[in-house]
Amino acid sequence: MKKLPKLFALAALILIYSCSGGDETPSIVPMPNFNQDRLFIQPGETVTFTNTSTDGESYSWNFGDNSTLSTDENPTHTFNAVGNFNVTLSVTSSTGDVATSTSSVTVGNRWAVALAVTEVQFVNGNGDAWDPDGSGPEILFGFFPVGQAEFDPFILGDDITSDDLPIAGAIDESLQVAFTDTDWTFAFLDNDDPLTDPNTSDLMTSFNLNPVRIPTEEDYYQNGEGQFSFTANGYSIIIAFDIKAN
């Protein structure tokens, strides 16, 4: 019978241990996730983020551009600088556990990367063919800011006839231009040799345009690519562009 106190003491310890263990709150690990309405934007545009996380009690957003963190559940954010930015959502659960999810936003300008011509005037204002021998013009084209006197033309094709249309080509990277909110001069030339002066007898046509203000035909917010199309002076043109963070 002398062993009974020890047995009671051991049972009490087991009971205390089991009761204290039952009071512990299990850890809740949140599952962070979010969507965004734009992947590629231009400087000054806004992205909307939709939080689809589960088991979250509080949220913290780091937009990767040294801006103030946001604690909104579904924030919007305007990116003003050009670059590639990692957006990180940190989710905290009711038990204090934290998990993160990251996506990216590319902020850049539209760069002309390719051009297609679907319609060309093969005669000048006097009704004379650009190449009287019937071979067809050697089409060169170029973009340059309004007021600039010189530019480097890009050769699209030689001896172009109506049977060659539409004709398209990628623009050499060294001749690609960034379309910012400014007016550009677009020029077609007929010459085999590189020209720097658009005001020559070989000038087929030139006109001013602002591609940034021309509606695009693709949703470049999702893939960073798109195109403009327009017609001027009897020339129908399609410009393909990419959003580049440079």
Average pLDDT for the chain: 87
Closest by Cα among 158, 141, 246 to 198: 141
**Residue-level pLDDT at 22:** 53
pLDDT band at 12 (very low <50, low <70, confident <90, very high): very low
Radius of gyration of the chain (CA): 32
**Residue-level pLDDT at 14:** 43
**Residue-level pLDDT at 188:** 86
pTM of this structure:
0.80
| Among the four given CATH numbers 3.30.160, 1.20.5, 2.60.40, 3.40.50, the one describing domain 109-244 | 2.60.40
CB-CB contact of 210 with 232 (8 Å):
no
pLDDT tens for residues 169-216?
Answer: 999 999 999 999 899 999 888 875 555 565 566 788 889 999 989 999
pLDDT tens for residues 64-119?
Answer: 999 999 999 999 999 999 999 999 999 999 999 999 999 999 999 999 999 999 99
**Residue-level pLDDT at 196:** 56
Q: From CA 71, how far away is CA 59, in angstroms rounded?
A: 5
What CATH number belongs to 34-107?
2.60.40.10
The HSE-up count of residue 5 (CA atoms within 13 Å, CB side) is 1
Task: Lowest mean pLDDT of 69-83, 141-155, 222-236, name the range.
Answer: 141-155
pLDDT over 80 at 149, yes or no: no
Of residues 21 and 59, more confidence is placed in 59
pLDDT over 90 at 242, yes or no: yes
**Residue-level pLDDT at 69:** 98
Q: Where in the chain is the domain with CATH 2.60.40.10?
A: 34-107
